[in-house]
Structure 1
């Protein structure tokens, strides 16, 4: 609305200038005409400035809301989507792609609307002054505008390609920085810098293609403006000389000409900006079009799940896998007919060679992937009939890499229980043997752990991740290689902690080091995605050749 009012003020100015010139020629009082011109000029300028402020604020609001929406969707995507995409490219969509939307708003839609109104008003006013000069102007401008529009047609496609190259470059930088210590230790710094540089070069080439195409637009607009001005000035001067037009009318027409060509130039530039923004918008919409993981409603199975088998011993087990198959989207099978139970309050271990599918089972229990066949039950209920959030509230999960988030020890612990008190935080740190580590710093719980926990040792990161899960008081604690980074002393301490933790919760532990699971109530042996044996340590040593081989290799037999 403000742009329309500002356009009206701009359209009034040439008429007022013509009035001032006419007043000077007639000898009438000059002050009222000049005063009105100054008032209209100042008012139009003030409205234009305010409109630009509102426009910029609106653009920032669009960027903010888009970033929030995009980030929310990224954090809710199914885990399988993260397996298919590069983190750096996703980051680029939140950063550089959303930034391009600002230019789309500020130089695109609103400017086009205001420019069209201003141009139409100028055309009407020019027609009232001199129709023949208007026809001459339209022909000159039409040639330039047509050329500019044709040159802008490929901007959207090239802009999207450029943003994809920027995303690839960001992914390459993220890959290098996340493994910078490994790269330095491997003497690969120069090679990685060259790889990132090559990716930056491809982004540069794509950007230059966009710039080359956009550069064709500007000369077309300039030629249209200059050609129209020179034609009007020559023909208009001739008409003033032969008395068919007054000087005041010629001045007014030229001013209206500038009001016409200026918004046309802005409209051409806005069209180009709009094409660039739409190229980025396609990449944003590509993510927003993905279905998020449903945390609120139950995911119904494709077929009716078989009920949990009745047992004479009483209630069903806390967790049950019944004939579970799983394979990745590329068709690679991982699990075949896996079945075992985790009774409440029990300790169950998953062991076997690398690649047997042990960690995949934990991911299926968490609902990160859907099973291909079979069923996973929680207390007798198919987990596909439970809201994922409700299921995960009963589970604690410590991944093999034991991720630690940038921030403080307190930030990491409160991730699972934001309402936990300081005494509870200190108690769970004591359970995993981290009290002295945290007390080394005068900041205590607020000591920083660095990006991805780099200021902690591998064992300290693992123990902090376990403490984070214990703080949530889960009914079932899933541990993927919990002692992989621990020395013998801390391994023993953690074994004591897990033994105490299993008094009021069930444990499901993936382990390569069998010494940590010797006292488990049940050990499930997997090989090539199948359960090949189940039992206690002593039973399996006698009955399972694979388990006996693993135990012998670790000097446990």
Structure 2
């Protein structure tokens, strides 16, 4: 949001305590870009201070946000502040900036840190905390004093104890951001792994040390065998025994350390992936996120389980040890190059087994997934149509169909298990056969001498160390293919564009006048069948439109399409003559009043739930609107009134009427010239909630455009025009006076 935009919005909100009151003309901005931003910072700080933040801290926070160069809706800025405010001002600022998506780095102050720390930095010196900003044109530094007044800043004033906090927006440096991944070419999981480079290097170092210990253990065992057993040199036994024990202990400790690190990485990655996936699902367009069932959404969240299981399984250390196989082969080659050829040949055979097995696993796992999906679909369809199946007497036919799908599923599972057993048998044969060949070749080469027996023992230990990771990896082929699918699913989810990414750079909306136009609008369901087609409707500002029709004909869909919550597959929807696809969805939804069919209360205070619609609303405005929607008495009876905290498990405990009245209060606070009201429960329409709807229609007729959904004739008669919808048909536009005459006839 630019400085001029924010100034205009602040002045508009300041004059909008009364839902019917308009805004004022914005003040002329200061000529200097820095002074203009300082003026915005002061205005924003005054609003932030209303949330319990002291004015000095509010000015610091507002200045950092405004000068950051990033654009945030005011609602997001207020929501970034911690709910339970810490006493330390810098902690409040740090948490707020981090919640907005900035990386915060606190370090000793220096000329370089301040001059190259970004457009605005926070300096903490003995004289207090203050913001230093940089003029992008001249590079001159300015300190923001009280009321964000900029004065030239002299770096010589810094004391040796001063510290500076810099703020860099996440998309610029975060390897997971779409911007950064566009430069690196990494997909999301690969970019996430790059954040653990230090951990991977540590694990590589541990694996190399384990390889060295493996060679040393082979050498120690061979030395004990040759010196003690064959030559009876008992004097060296204690020293050799201690050395071997130390090697074994070090090997065990390093192996345990590697396992612990992998477990930590697995848990950390699982937390990051699940949290990021959940956040991304919430940011997807409703047309995508609402189409998937809760079970499908939960399955997306479980996509990482296969990766976590791999990291804590023996297959992951084996994958690390495979990289060190050439190290063992070189050691063996130094002893006998023919034996090294055996190891190299075995490794090539293992690679061939792995590639063939992986290709077959990919096919069989796909078949199993399709069979399981089909069986699940038939089972769900059976439960959905249970009454119909019973009424027409198709229980036997349906049971046969379900049994056949389960048989196909079990047959596919059996084929997959057979494949796993076949891969295990082939891999075991290659492993044991290679070790036997290695022992026989070395035994023949040394002609059964005592010294040769030592070499055979050493060669066997090294061969086991070299080939065991390959064998373990081949046994994990099915798991590796599942991991590949899990990684692909996570990458696919994270690369689906969110609403903000898809609509970035759209035009900003001015205050609505209320004109609404739907031109040849249609909608198709998920199975591509048309729900309605060719809807043409021009709504004048202040007109009242009613939508009615049987269930499933698209009444709620039309409201969601106007809000940008559903894709407009056919036709165009315009607000005040502008295609809504040209607007940011955040702007669109912030400028339209909407009462959903099933409103929800979010965890937090009741005041916070209301201020979601207008963070600048005063207490007087809230109390007035609560009285208008009939919630004043209910809120008064709650402990702490508006500051009553709604717990997560308590949000659904409020009855439908209470939640709908809160939704109406939010609609009033939005203060839009366009009001959308979805269908209200018929059981509540006979009472005061129905009276509230009647009052809204009569009070705002001619002043605000109202589009509401209903099937009751007494409410439909209050509309200026009605839109009659039928499934798969062309909606019919009917004037209310004509509808009444048709009904009398």
Match of 2:722 among 511, 518, 524: 524
Tell me by how many angstroms 1:385 deviates.
1.9
Cα separation, 1, equivalents of 2:365 and 2:299: 14
- Contact 2:523–2:570 (CA under 8 A) maintained in structure 1: no
Q: Could you say which residue in structure 1 is the equivalent of 2:740? A: 541
Cα separation, 2, equivalents of 1:374 and 1:449: 41
Match of 2:485 among 263, 279, 283: 279
Cα separation, 2, equivalents of 1:50 and 1:149: 31
- Contact 1:358–1:526 (CA under 8 A) maintained in structure 2: no
Q: Secondary structure at the match of 2:565?
A: coil
Match of 1:35 among 231, 238, 242: 242
Q: Could you say which residue in structure 2 is the equivalent of 1:14? A: 218
Matched, 1:293 2:499: yes
Cα separation, 2, equivalents of 1:415 and 1:159: 50
Tell me by how many angstroms 1:338 deviates.
1.7
Distance 1:525 1:77, change over 3 A: same
Q: Secondary structure at the match of 1:486?
A: helix
Q: Secondary structure at the match of 1:29?
A: helix
Distance 1:435 1:6, change over 3 A: farther
Distance 1:243 1:371, change over 3 A: closer
Cα separation, 2, equivalents of 1:199 and 1:470: 51
Q: Secondary structure at the match of 1:30?
A: helix
Q: Could you say which residue in structure 2 is the equivalent of 1:214? A: 420
Cα separation, 2, equivalents of 1:421 and 1:170: 53
Q: Could you say which residue in structure 2 is the equivalent of 1:98? A: 304
- State which drifts further: 53-62 or 507-516: 53-62
Distance 1:429 1:31, change over 3 A: farther
Q: Could you say which residue in structure 2 is the equivalent of 1:305? A: none
Tell me by how many angstroms 1:394 deviates.
2.0
- Contact 1:90–1:167 (CA under 8 A) maintained in structure 2: no
- Normalised to the residue count of structure 1, the TM-score between the two structures is 0.74
Distance 1:254 1:210, change over 3 A: same
- Normalised to the residue count of structure 2, the TM-score between the two structures is 0.57
Q: How large is the Cα RMSD of the aligned pairs?
A: 5.0
Distance 1:368 1:180, change over 3 A: same
Match of 1:359 among 544, 556, 560: 556
- Contact 1:123–1:134 (CA under 8 A) maintained in structure 2: yes
Distance 1:408 1:396, change over 3 A: same
Q: Could you say which residue in structure 1 is the equivalent of 2:666? A: 471
Task: Summarize the alignment of residues 223-262 of structure 1 with structure 2, pairs less than 5 Å apart.
Answer: 223-234=429-440, 236-237=442-443, 242-243=448-449, 245-262=451-468
Cα separation, 1, equivalents of 2:330 and 2:257: 27
Q: Secondary structure at the match of 2:519?
A: strand
Considering Cα pairs closer than 8 Å and 6+ residues apart, tell me whether 1 or 2 has the greater RCO: 1
- State which drifts further: 41-50 or 22-31: 22-31
Q: Could you say which residue in structure 2 is the equivalent of 1:325? A: 521
| CA deviation map 1:241-268 (0-9, x unaligned) | 6438433222211211221231221232
Cα separation, 2, equivalents of 1:469 and 1:172: 42
| CA deviation map 1:298-333 (0-9, x unaligned) | 6879xxxxxx9xxxxxx9841311534224273737
- Contact 1:298–1:386 (CA under 8 A) maintained in structure 2: no
Q: Secondary structure at the match of 1:318?
A: coil
Q: Secondary structure at the match of 1:529?
A: coil
Cα separation, 1, equivalents of 2:456 and 2:512: 94
Cα separation, 1, equivalents of 2:539 and 2:288: 30
Distance 1:166 1:398, change over 3 A: farther
Task: Summarize the alignment of residues 118-129 of structure 1 with structure 2, pairs less than 5 Å apart.
Answer: 118-129=324-335
Q: Could you say which residue in structure 1 is the equivalent of 2:539? A: 341
- Which sections of structure 2, spanning at least 5 residues, go unmatched? 1-203
Distance 1:359 1:418, change over 3 A: closer
